Structure 1
Amino acid sequence: MITYEEVNAAQQAWCDALVKIGQLKEEGGDYKAFANEVLSSAYNYDNGKVFFKPTLAYGDQTFRNDKKGALAYFIGGDPDYPNDKGFALTPWVKARYDNAGEKNEGIQIYGSVAITMGNVWVTGKDGKEVMVDKTWVFKKGKDGKLRIIVHKSALPFTPQTK
């Protein structure tokens, strides 16, 4: 059984890893290896399926159902994904999440699966904060670790005025 504490810890770990990827790039560290490690530890790519819809992906590369596509989204540099510039390389200096509702209302737990819905807030070096709508589904593996099996992101809809 998954606990609310595990889900919240997994969400915060994802936010921290996003910041660290960009920090490593800025410091000349091995951000590529770290990003690949994050995809293995935080996502289910090495154990099964993952449905990943990144924030800024579109067209025929909207969905990243394999690790290669997810890595390209986070760090760029893959000629098979020419539109990816590396979302994690902005760099973000801070990232936080909040789930919909009060306390843990934005988390649903069903045995070894948990669903969250809310927002991730990322802050750039310029101090500007960007909000991204986020839905995650986590599955607890046989090793007891939570891994993301569904990751859907989108920028909030802004109504157009005439």
Structure 2
Amino acid sequence: MQNRNISDIIEHYLKDILADSQQIEIKRSEVAEHFNCVPSQINYVIKTRFTIPNGYIVQSKRGGGGYIRIAKINLIDDTDILDELTAYIGSSISATRGFQVVQSLYEEKLLTQKEANLILTTIDRGTLAFSEKKLEDAVRARILINILERLRCAD
């Protein structure tokens, strides 16, 4: 254990508790006291180790009755597809290429036909009828990238 720093130890401790349930609720000050560290160390561990891409969602309430709630979420099995598509989209994408992205998601069974059609309507040229094509392509890219981020987490 001598090669592990306090952040690793706190992370392991919280993950051990989470192994028994889908969600935990902790008091930052109590955990900090348990490890004889400052409460900001607990914040650091939670912000860097318990993120959505790592399979966790965090909620907190500040104040006297405050808490930090950490819940496990299910990530889709193959995030490589989403990473490739995110890189492909970049900061700008045409309507034609946007259609191809949605088609790929549908073919990979990450979207139902209804979901794919709703997304296609959202990113369509007629919907994003900006006077500047560059702006239209940038907004389309943002929409698609946000959808991909949501797909990383399954209900």
User: How high is the TM-score relative to the length of structure 1?
Assistant: 0.28
Structure showing the higher strand proportion among its residues:
1
Bigger Rg over Cα = 2
Instruction: Return the structure number with greater relative CO, CA threshold 8 A, min gap 6.
Output: 1
User: How high is the TM-score relative to the length of structure 2?
Assistant: 0.29
